[in-house]
A and B are shown apart, each in its own frame.
Chain A
Amino acid sequence: MTHWITTLSFLALLVSGVEILISHPRFYWGETGNVLTPPLFQLPIPASRATVPTGYGYVLPDQNGWSRYLHFQSAWVAVLTGLLYVIFGLLKGHFRRNLLPTRADLSRRGLSMVIAQHLRFRPAHEEEAWSYNVLQRLTYLLVIFVLFPLVIWTGLAMSPAIASAIPAVVTVLGGQQSARTIHFFVSVFLVLFLLVHVVMVCLSGFRSRVRAMITGRPATDMERV
């Protein structure tokens, strides 16, 4: 349940985030930055504002109004859903049981075995299909406990009102523009995770996996065909 709500709000955040980004596809470090200051880097795309020098002879339509409304509303949905997920995950021992790798998993032997399996594109056995391997565990832990908190934090750090109440939110990152730049990179990592995640689900049999996600049961060999 929380998975699909998160999926929807993540896609809404992604689309609206891209729209907001193209109004100023330049990035800076520190507190300030604008078209009169040199950027850290600039994305080679046209912008939705005529004031941004992009090298393109045209300006994209401005979609920031609804994009911003949608971005912040979806952020609320994602954050509240994520909180529920984490609270229930902790209460029911989901993270400890299913996501925390064992010591054997993290040994060189354990790791190299899983990596070798992946390189040979060997699908999981029936008995393995219901639990996560060590690479999955580490990736999910990184996404849930590092990337998502970081993207929320850097998002809040761009708010002048939040920064007025809790200045450290932005000062420890090196400034408001640094927060914006980190927000961008973390979002890129989250999108990469999404792509790999979807490809993996497809490789292991899209229909049976999604059915398993909805019903909560692994597919048997019969169903997998």
Chain B
Amino acid sequence: MSKLSRRKLITAGLAATAGASGLAIATKLAQRYGLTPPDGGGLYGPGETLTYATQRFLTRHSLAREFTPGQISKDPFANEVAPLGEPFKRLQEGGFADWRLTVDGMAARPASFSLGELKSFPRRSQITHLACEEGWSYIAEWMGVPLSHILGVVGALPQARYVVYRSIQPDWWESIDMADAMHPQTLVTHGMNGGELPVAFGGPLRLRVPRQLGYKSVKYIARLTITDGLKRFGKGLGSASPEGGYAWYAGI
């Protein structure tokens, strides 16, 4: 008994110490290289940090899968949204002629763009998969301006680390890091399947982030804020999702 337990205890103790110090070192490294997600504190922080750091390492420049026109879903599902508010309805009555996307924060030339201006920018279209965290999905063609182009136009400062984006609907906002913000497939989307982007799918303007789950693709976006930190926004967890109990990083 004594021989067995001493040897086992020493082995287990060494393993536990190695594991704990490994985790501590990994956390420190993640912090140094900015790989801790804004909701990386608390009970589920270690798992979120491991996922975010690993996927940033693996996927910094990878492109979301693109599909053929034949693979576009005939029955895309728009999902429910909260009842549209007065500000949205007013702009809708005017055919969205007065819809504006305001870009502020760490930019050399903060600006506000009309839909017409955004549509005159270089556009890109791509056929990508949209997966909801609930488990369902569809494939559609999305058309829009790469967010990186808009960040170039306003002159995003080099110390920028995140882009916060807000819906015109209350309490609906998200943020992404610069790896996703500068990613060529991250689109300020105004068209879908060859037509205008329908209201149910986020029209007139939706930010599509195809390497993350659907809830990061906020509908009805009206404001972008470029920032070097997320502490000052909301409860400081990065976006409305962690405030509602959902992970900030949704590349899963």
Which residues of A line the B interface, CB within 8 A? 1, 20-21, 23-24, 26, 31-37, 49-51, 64-66, 68-70, 72-76, 84, 158-165, 167, 170-171, 176-177, 180, 215-217
Q: Which chain A residues border B199 with CB–CB below 8 Å?
A: none
Q: Which chain A residues border B51 with CB–CB below 8 Å?
A: 72, 76
Closest 6 CB pairs of A and B: A65-B245, A73-B47, A161-B251, A24-B135, A36-B75, A34-B136
Compute how far the CA of A135 lies from the CA of B251 in the bound complex, rounded to whole angstroms.
40
Contact of A165 among B8, B58, B71, B245 (CB under 8 A): B58
**How many residues belonging to B are interface residues under a CB distance threshold of 8 Å?**
48
Nearest A residue to B4 by beta-carbon distance?
A: A216
Compute how far the CA of A32 lies from the CA of B77 in the bound complex, rounded to whole angstroms.
11
B200 at the A/B interface (Cβ < 8 Å)?
Answer: no
Is A160 within 8 A of B251, CB to CB? yes
Pair count A-B, CB < 8 A: 133
Compute how far the CA of A32 lies from the CA of B131 in the bound complex, rounded to whole angstroms.
8
Compute how far the CA of A177 lies from the CA of B133 in the bound complex, rounded to whole angstroms.
12
Q: Which chain B residues border A50 with CB–CB below 8 Å?
A: 80
B137 at the A/B interface (Cβ < 8 Å)?
Answer: yes
Compute how far the CA of A66 lies from the CA of B213 in the bound complex, rounded to whole angstroms.
16
Assuming the contacts A34-B138, A176-B129, A176-B137, asked whether A161 and B212 have C-beta atoms less than 8 A apart, the reply is yes
B59 at the A/B interface (Cβ < 8 Å)?
Answer: yes
Q: Which chain A residues border B48 with CB–CB below 8 Å?
A: 69, 72-73
Assuming the contacts A33-B137, A34-B137, asked whether A69 and B131 have C-beta atoms less than 8 A apart, the reply is no
Is A160 within 8 A of B77, CB to CB? no
Is A217 within 8 A of B246, CB to CB? no
Contact pattern, B 48-84, Cβ under 8 Å of A = 1, otherwise 0: 1011000100110011110100010101110110000
Q: Which chain B residues border A217 with CB–CB below 8 Å?
A: 4
In this complex, the member of A1, A32, A51, A76 whose beta carbon has the largest number of chain B beta carbons within 10 angstroms is A32
Nearest B residue to A67 by beta-carbon distance?
A: B245
Contact pattern, B 1-33, Cβ under 8 Å of A = 1, otherwise 0: 100110010001001000000000000000000
Is B77 within 8 A of A31, CB to CB? no
Is B138 within 8 A of A68, CB to CB? no
B244 at the A/B interface (Cβ < 8 Å)?
Answer: yes
Contact pattern, B 124-141, Cβ under 8 Å of A = 1, otherwise 0: 000001011111111100
Contact of A73 among B8, B44, B129 (CB under 8 A): B44
Is A32 within 8 A of B50, CB to CB? no
Interface of B is mostly: loop
Q: Which chain A residues border B91 with CB–CB below 8 Å?
A: none
Is B246 within 8 A of A31, CB to CB? no
Assuming the contacts A33-B137, A36-B75, A70-B44, asked whether A160 and B58 have C-beta atoms less than 8 A apart, the reply is no
Contact of A160 among B4, B73, B76, B211 (CB under 8 A): B211
Q: Which chain A residues border B63 with CB–CB below 8 Å?
A: 164
Compute how far the CA of A36 lies from the CA of B78 in the bound complex, rounded to whole angstroms.
10
Compute how far the CA of A64 lies from the CA of B16 in the bound complex, rounded to whole angstroms.
31
Contact of A76 among B50, B64, B79 (CB under 8 A): B50
Is B64 within 8 A of A164, CB to CB? yes
Assuming the contacts A69-B47, A217-B4, asked whether A32 and B138 have C-beta atoms less than 8 A apart, the reply is yes
Q: Which chain A residues border B244 with CB–CB below 8 Å?
A: 65
Is A160 within 8 A of B47, CB to CB? no
Closest chain-B Cβ to A179's Cβ sits at a distance in Å of 11
Closest chain-B Cβ to A25's Cβ sits at a distance in Å of 9
Is B4 within 8 A of A165, CB to CB? no
Compute how far the CA of A51 lies from the CA of B44 in the bound complex, rounded to whole angstroms.
29
Q: Which chain A residues border B136 with CB–CB below 8 Å?
A: 24, 26, 33-35
Closest chain-A Cβ to B43's Cβ sits at a distance in Å of 8
Is A73 within 8 A of B46, CB to CB? yes
Within 8 A of A (CB), among B110-168: 129, 131-139
In this complex, the member of A73, A84, A180 whose beta carbon has the largest number of chain B beta carbons within 10 angstroms is A73
Closest chain-B Cβ to A51's Cβ sits at a distance in Å of 6
New contact pairs (12) apart from A32-B73, A68-B247, A161-B55, CB-CB < 8 Å: A24-B134, A49-B134, A69-B43, A72-B47, A159-B251, A160-B129, A160-B211, A163-B65, A164-B63, A165-B62, A170-B65, A215-B4
